Amino acid sequence: MVLLHVKHGDESQFLLETTGRVSIEDLTQEVTKIYNGRLKVQRLCAEMESLAEHGIFLPPNMQGLTDEQIEELKLTDEWAKKCIPSGGSTFKKDDIGRRNGHAPNEKMKQVLKATVEEAKAVISKKQVEANVCVTTCMVKDALDQLRGAVMIVYPMGLPPYDPIRMEFENKEDLSGTQAALEIVEEPEAQLWWAAKELKRTNQLSDYVGKNEKTKIIIKIQKKGQGAPAREPVISSEEHKQMILFYHRRQEELKKLEENDDDSFLDSEWADSHALKRHFHGVKDIKWRPR
C-alpha cells in the first residue's frame, strides 16, 4: 500500500493508505471527502460543547439581545418548550447571547462531552504523529456518534435553525465565515506532489512508480492557487535536532579549548619554577681560573 501524508498548506491533516493503481480522480474524491468531513466534525464538536454548556440555539431574531430588549419587543422562543433535554435542564446564561441558557443536567452534559472528545480524537492531527490512517468510514462513524449523542440528550430534536441540526442535515450556511474558506469543494480540488499537479486522468503509479511500499506527502488545495510550496529537504524536527547538535558541539569544543589553555598555562608555570629551582644560587658561584 502507498501511504499518503495529506497536507493543506504547511499543516498536516491526516494519513491515508491507498494503492498505486488508484486513479487520481477517485483519490481526489476520497481525500476531499475525508478532508471536508474532518472539518464538519470539528464544527459540530465546537457547537456541541456550547450546547452542553448553554442549551439550544435562540431564534435568529432573539440572538444578541438583552432580556430587557426581548421583553420589550415581546419575543418568545417557541422551541424552548419543545426541545427540553432528557432529565431536565439547569440554567447557565450564555454571555454571547446565542443560546437560551437551559443546559442539560450534569449526566446528559457528560454524554455530549464524552462523545465530542472521542470524535475529536478520531480526526485529530495527532493521528499523523501516531502513524494512524484515517478513512471515510472513520469520519462517518464519528459523525454518527455525535448525532446519536444529540438524540439521546434531545430526543425531540433541535430547532431547525440550530447549527448542529443544520450540519447533520447538510444545510449549514457558512457564507462569510472562516470555516467557508477552509472547505475545498470536490470539483475545485487539486492534489499536488513534489510541485507537480496530479492530473485526474492519470493513476497514482504514473507519478510514484510501481513500488507499493512508498510514503509521499501530497497537498490538497483549490484550483487556481498555483503550485504549493515545496516541502523542505529536512523536516522542522530534524532541523531543530541539527541546531541542538551543533550548539552542543560548539560548547564541547569551547570547553576543550579552555582546558587546553589551562594545561598550557599550568605547564608554563611548572617549567618556569623548575628553571628557577635549577639555577637557584648560580649567582653565588665563583669561577676560578685554572
> What confidence tens digit (pLDDT) does each residue in 69-99 have?
988 999 988 998 899 999 999 999 999 999 9
Does residue 270 sit within a domain?
no
- What is the number of domains present in the chain? 1
Residue 162 has pLDDT above 60, yes or no: yes
Residue 290 has pLDDT above 50, yes or no: no
Query: Could you tell me which residue, 275 or 63, shows the higher pLDDT?
Result: 63
Does residue 49 sit within a domain?
yes
C-alpha distance from residue 247 to each of 85, 241, 244, 260 (Å): 59, 10, 5, 20
Does residue 94 sit within a domain?
no
Query: Could you tell me which residue, 273 or 220, shows the higher pLDDT?
Result: 220
Tell me the C-alpha distance between 52 and 33, whole Å. 28
Instruction: Name the DSSP letter for residue 229.
Output: P
Does residue 189 sit within a domain?
yes
Residue 45 has pLDDT above 80, yes or no: yes
Does residue 170 sit within a domain?
yes
Write 17-21 long-range contacts (CB < 8 A, 24+): 17/133, 18/204, 19/204, 19/212, 20/203, 20/204, 20/205, 20/208, 20/209, 20/210, 20/211, 20/212, 20/214, 21/203, 21/204, 21/205
At 287 the pLDDT is 47
Tell me the C-alpha distance between 162 and 268, whole Å. 86
Domain boundaries, position 140: 2-56+104-222
Does residue 40 sit within a domain?
yes
